[in-house]
Amino acid sequence: MPESGLLSPLLKNGGLPENSKKQTIGGVYFPYSKINAHDLPVGTILYSHGNGENVSHLVDWAEQMRRDFRCNVLVFDYAGYGKSEGTPTAPGVLDDGLAALTYLNQKEEIPTNQIILYGFSLGGSVAIDLASKHEVKALIVESSFTSLGDMGRNMLPFLPAEYLLREQLASIKKIGKVRCPVFISHGRADHVIPFSQGERLFEAANEPKTFYIPPEGLDYHSAPHGEEHLEALRQFVNSL
């Protein structure tokens, strides 16, 4: 993990965020390092990760986002992931995302319209849900699904059946309510979430929108970002 001077634990402004169940949500906030008084961040990225990840896997990626996109960055864990309290549920990941957004808005005093919601895989459903309900700066979705129903039980096999009935994480029904610029990427070789689901999300999104397909060899589900992918993201963020 970077030296403490490079990041700010969420404890600095009065404690870690809590979800509606009063469970503590772990995470790390990376404030943008200004070069001078006139060097303001482009925005603040709220990153929602995938099902097999936690914050400890994302420190380098968060630091890269902060540097390359000139943004503050908050990465957080859902209940039951990493050091977050509780157990994961489909409704719970949405509640945890709201807790993280509320933290940025109330504790870091960042206006919601300056927040860029960025979600990977499972996190895409969290980012889309938040963007459908709040006026945010932009939405970035990578390798995500249209709904849990379309995925069957492959994405969250630990969920009891009643949670699938209560919350389908139906991004395909929500993304049409998003009014900010949208960037969606999905690889053709994704064997976890079919490429067609990324296409459907893009088709259902409003303009302005961008669809990026990584090149062959970097188009599987959890492939690292190539320079072409990073440049596409930089151009999108810089256009905001």
Question: What is the number of domains present in the chain?
Answer: 1
User: Torsion angle, CA of 189/194/200/206, rounded to 10 degrees?
Assistant: -60
- The answer to whether residue 143 sits within a structural domain is yes
Q: What is the DSSP letter of 21?
A: T
Closest CA to 97 of 79, 71, 121: 79
pLDDT in tens, the chain (240 residues): 233 333 344 434 445 677 888 888 888 899 998 766 667 899 999 999 998 899 989 999 999 999 999 999 999 999 999 888 888 888 889 999 999 999 999 989 999 999 999 999 999 999 999 999 999 999 999 999 999 888 865 566 555 555 555 667 899 999 999 999 999 999 999 999 999 999 999 999 999 999 999 999 999 999 999 999 999 999 999 999
Report yes or no on 145 lying in a domain.
yes
Give me the domain span that covers residue 230.
Answer: 17-238
pLDDT of residue 14: 43
Closest by CA position to 181, among listed 43, 65, 66? 43
The 10 Å Cβ neighbour count of residue 134 is: 16
pTM of the model: 0.90
Residue 7 domain-assigned? no
- Report yes or no on 6 lying in a domain: no
Q: Are 29 and 7 in contact (CB under 8 A)?
A: yes
d(CA 60, CA 57): 8
What is the CA angle 58-41-171, rounded to 5?
55
Of the CA atoms within 13 Å of residue 63, those in its CB half-sphere come to 13
**What CATH code is carried by the domain that includes residue 195?**
3.40.50.1820
Judge whether 159 lies within some domain.
yes
1 located within any domain: no
Task: Give the model's pLDDT for residue 159.
Answer: 58
The token pair at 183 is 């960037």
Residue 57 lies in a domain: yes
- The pLDDT value recorded for residue 10 is 47
What are 66-69's contacts with CB under 8 Å, separation 24+? Answer: 66/30, 66/32, 66/33, 68/230, 68/233, 68/234, 69/42, 69/45, 69/233, 69/234, 69/237
Tell me if 5 is assigned to some domain. Answer: no
